[in-house]
Amino acid sequence: MFQMINFNKKYGKSLYIGFLPFLKLSLLIILVAHIVVIASTEDNNIKLKALLEKNHYPLSNVAIFVKNIEKDSILAALNADEPFNPASVSKLTTAAMAYDKLGCGYTFKTRVYIDGTYNQDSGVCNGNMYIRGGGDPLFVIERIWNFVRHLYVFYGLRSVTGNIILDDSFFDTVSIGPCFMDDSMAGNPYAAPVGALCANFNIVELCVRPGVKNEPVKAEMFPNLPNVELSIKARTVAGKASGVYVESEQCGQGKTKMILAGSMSVDAEPHVILRKVHQTWDHFGNILKMLLDENKITVRGKILRGIMPETAKSGKPLYTWESPPLREIVTDMMKYSTNMSAEMLFKTFSGLRDSGNGSWEKSSLMVQEWWKEKGLPGNPVIKNGSGMGDCNRYTALQIGALLKYAWNQKTFLPEYLNAFPVSGIDGTIRSRFKNSRLKGYIRGKTGTLNEFGVYSMAGYALLPKSNYIFVILFNKMNSKYPYQHWEMQQKILEMLIPE
């Protein structure tokens, strides 16, 4: 029609006159719709502030952004352009960049090389064997067992006359991430050290059960390794118990000491406590040695850390172990907020680019470059991939923009959505939204840092009539118990997201 108005000289004037009322009406409709949206947003903001103030939430400590995806309309925005600590919501960026740069089917490879000769008939490796790590986050003990079993069954390995050299140079030697607190006594598994050749998330399980009254608590460690010492000081009591806890500390080169303290009731149920070890490659080496012994593969030398020589690199690997595809690793990372997986992914970005020596500093710059390349707003502070500590900073608008970007990526959106915990169903929000109309409709990544008063959640609300992006960030909250903040997040979403 515009072409007719511009180029039809004979009827141009009459067409313009006929089109003018329609144009005015269209502009009026758009203007009215815009005013309605603004009014609706302001109304929601007023309700939101009233809800927060009624429950004694300082408004300056809250950032919220909720948007209808299809209509591209904002439902509510509070402090949405102020930088906040997002905690584990940072993993949204790590996951999106990993899918975009590596692809959903990417696998991490652990390669075995021989520096010498190998006779497959006798199964004897004359010389050193090198195991070169590729940053596999899911190299858990079951998979290492398969790794060793494949060497035994498929390649006939029976003995190594030299040393087994563990090459973890795909990452640098820094194992504690930026802003990770030095929590060596508590030994929390969410702060385990990171290396390019790690085993079992660098944790051990303590299986704890009561003993005889007034006697020590019973505890067994799995896996039971020479580099981890267990000291049991906890007692079994007849009356009320204080509960048991585990302190973990580094004691000497390559060793971790676990101290089980407190008390346990004589009729208490057995349970498992997870605690980190303070080693990376050497923890892998001890698990590897245990499984080699179980499969009767002898090693005459030692298991050491080192760099694979060029003479070995030039040859074909004896064996290559592949991790599960990236989509499975990201799903595990997101559902259960696994910090170690996030940091190994983060360091992998620069490790791949530079053919090794991946570092937090280099990957941080790469993520910033990727953020700009995708046209995402502003300059968030991204020092690590998991959100640990008090250094990452995003605005609610920036997180909302990231979610909108991912929504438009047909190559990985299904995998991205599938990785989120689902309200009342699984992951970190399995126990939340149980009695809410939003049960099963929220795909939300949570973030919690009690020591900094950070409680956050961001993601998608996928409802039958429409879909929404939401970001809720609480900072500097004084409560020691996160439950009230989880309940407030639910109330906010139930209030703002239409039925």
Q: Do 115 and 196 belong to one domain?
A: no
Taking residue 73's Cβ as centre, other Cβ atoms within 10 Å add up to 15
pLDDT band of residue 436 (cuts 50, 70, 90) is very high
Could you tell me if residue 160 is inside a domain? yes
Q: Are 458 and 444 in contact (CB under 8 A)?
A: yes
The amino acid at 255: K
Residue identified by tokens 């048991």 is 244
What tokens were used for 35? 């005013």
Mean pLDDT of the chain: 91
Q: What is the pLDDT of residue 184?
A: 42
Q: Do 264 and 311 belong to one domain?
A: no
Instruction: Please compute the mean of the pLDDT values over residues 456-485 and round it to a whole number.
Output: 93
Distance CA 435, CA 444 (A): 17
Q: What is the pLDDT of residue 8?
A: 46
Radius of gyration of the chain (CA): 28
Q: Do 425 and 373 belong to one domain?
A: yes
Q: Which of helix, strand or coil describes residue 91?
A: helix
Dihedral sign of CA atoms 261, 262, 265, 269 in order:
negative
**Which residues are CB-neighbours of 36 under 8 A, at least 6 positions away?**
none
Instruction: Please compute the mean of the pLDDT values over residues 249-278 and round it to a whole number.
Output: 90
Q: Using the predicted structure, report yes or no on whether residue 225 has a pLDDT greater than 50.
A: yes
| Burial tier of 196 (Cβ tally within 10 Å: 0-12, 13-18, 19+) | buried
Q: Using the predicted structure, report yes or no on whether residue 2 has a pLDDT greater than 90.
A: no
Q: Which of helix, strand or coil describes residue 362?
A: helix
Could you tell me if residue 213 is inside a domain? yes
> Cα angle at 87 between 83 and 90, to 5 degrees?
80
Q: Do 418 and 477 belong to one domain?
A: yes
pLDDT tens sequence across 10-32: 445 554 555 556 555 555 454 44
Distance CA 251, CA 9 (A): 91
- Return phi, psi of residue 460, to 5°: -125, 145
Looking at the 3D structure of the chain, how many domains does it have? Answer: 3
Q: Which of helix, strand or coil describes residue 97?
A: helix
pLDDT tens sequence across 367-424: 999 999 999 999 999 999 999 999 999 999 999 999 999 999 999 999 999 999 999 9
The amino acid at 167: D
pTM (predicted TM-score): 0.90
CA atoms lying within 13 Å on the CB side of residue 113: 20
Q: Do 449 and 302 belong to one domain?
A: no
Percentage of the chain beyond pLDDT 90 is: 82
Q: Using the predicted structure, report yes or no on whether residue 51 has a pLDDT greater than 90.
A: yes
Instruction: Please compute the mean of the pLDDT values over residues 83-91 and round it to a whole number.
Output: 98
Q: What is the pLDDT of residue 36?
A: 45
pLDDT tens sequence across 119-160: 989 999 999 999 999 999 999 999 999 999 999 999 999 999
Q: Do 365 and 473 belong to one domain?
A: yes
Q: Using the predicted structure, report yes or no on whether residue 312 has a pLDDT greater than 90.
A: no
